[in-house]
Homo-oligomer: A and B are copies of this chain.
Amino acid sequence: MEIHAEAYNRPIGIFDSGIGGLTVLKALKDKLPHESFIYFGDLAHSPYGTKSKKMVRAYARTITRFLLAQEVKLIVIACNTASASAAQEVRRMAYPVPVLEVVEYGVEAALQIIGQADQTNHRVGVLGTPTTVSSEVYVEQLRIKAKERDIALEIQQAACPLFAPLAEEGLWQGEIPKLIAAMYLHDMHAFAPDVVILGCTHYPLLREVIAEQLPESTKLVDSASLIAERAKQLLEDKKLLRLTPEPGSIDIYSSDSEDTFRRMATRFLDMTVDIVHYVELDAWEESEG
């Protein structure tokens, strides 16, 4: 403990394109109530899901630079599009600060369920933004891990570009999200997957309407609770857990106006968002050369 006398008091950094990652923040806060969190929502560039991989990478680099300057002890990429596009770069920049990203734990959550089943052949569905789906990162990671465990997998993806705007509008239930889910999930229903990965941090908010459009036997998984477990384990292993009786703080930073964020976050989460700090992201961009 003495060695890390300063480090363990440092905050955990989390980032997302906007408010979707608050679902991951909530899971982390539940599991690690004594930790302090710095959450960065890149509302100035939101949504990431229709931006190019190159662009999302540039945004992720800038935010990583900002979080490292806040001396975070762990970075959680709480956005599937950013994880799919920029995880390796963020890891390289942040080293030796550890980095967790949602794609890995979405994959892990799916394989845990499959591991309990008796079948020999398994079908996994992946729902994501256009950029996440076209990156094929879920397909790739599922294949690698399934091979390691000698599991035979069939995989089908579906891009659901309107899910994130719907979630941000608070349209989580009712006829409109139901019809949109039916449109996106028609082929997925026919595929009859054993597990479907909710591959965007907004999608857990639409869990009910998504479940309605899939066979009853299909299980839905997301990365939030596994990534929170893994974060706890990792901090324990590195002796970086904050050991104090008081609850930690949550500081929310946004690259667009605080008002926008507060309005959206209040609608979004069962968590009061009082103080949102505005950050001019340009100041954290890499300099030329």
| Contact partner, A55, options B44, B162, B169, B179, Cβ 8 Å | B44
| Contact partner, A52, options B45, B50, B169, B257, Cβ 8 Å | B257
Residue ID in chain B nearest A52 by CB atoms: B257
Contact assessment for A176 and B180 in the assembled complex, using a CB-CB cutoff below 8 Å? yes
Output the least CB separation between A278 and chain B (Å).
Answer: 9
Tell me the A154-182 residues at the B interface (CB within 8 Å). 161-162, 165-166, 168-169, 171, 175-176, 179-180
Query: Residue A269 at the B interface, CB < 8 A?
Result: no
Sort chain A's interface into a size bin: 20 to 34
In whole angstroms, how far apart are the Cα atoms of A46 and B48 in the complex?
10
Residue ID in chain B nearest A44 by CB atoms: B55
Which B residues are CB-close (under 8 A) to A52?
256-257, 259-260
Contact assessment for B176 and A55 in the assembled complex, using a CB-CB cutoff below 8 Å? no
Query: Residue A282 at the B interface, CB < 8 A?
Result: yes
Which B residues are CB-close (under 8 A) to A43?
51
Residue ID in chain B nearest A166 by CB atoms: B162
Which B residues are CB-close (under 8 A) to A180?
176
Contact assessment for A169 and B161 in the assembled complex, using a CB-CB cutoff below 8 Å? yes
> Can you list 30 A-B pairs with a CB-CB distance of less than 8 A?
A43-B51, A44-B45, A44-B51, A44-B55, A45-B45, A46-B50, A50-B168, A50-B260, A51-B256, A51-B260, A52-B257, A52-B259, A52-B260, A54-B257, A55-B256, A55-B257, A161-B165, A161-B169, A162-B162, A162-B165, A162-B166, A162-B169, A162-B171, A165-B165, A175-B179, A176-B176, A176-B179, A176-B180, A176-B183, A179-B179
1/0 per residue, CB under 8 A from B, across A251-289: the answer is 000001101100000000000000000000010010000
Output the least CB separation between A246 and chain B (Å).
Answer: 34
Given contacts A52-B257, A175-B179, could you give 15 more A-B pairs where the C-beta distance is less than 8 Å? A44-B51, A44-B55, A45-B45, A46-B50, A50-B168, A50-B260, A51-B260, A54-B257, A161-B165, A161-B169, A162-B162, A162-B169, A165-B165, A176-B176, A282-B285
In whole angstroms, how far apart are the Cα atoms of A52 and B161 in the complex?
23
- Residues on A facing B (Cβ under 8 Å): 43-46, 50-52, 54-55, 161-162, 165-166, 168-169, 171, 175-176, 179-180, 183, 256-257, 259-260, 282, 285
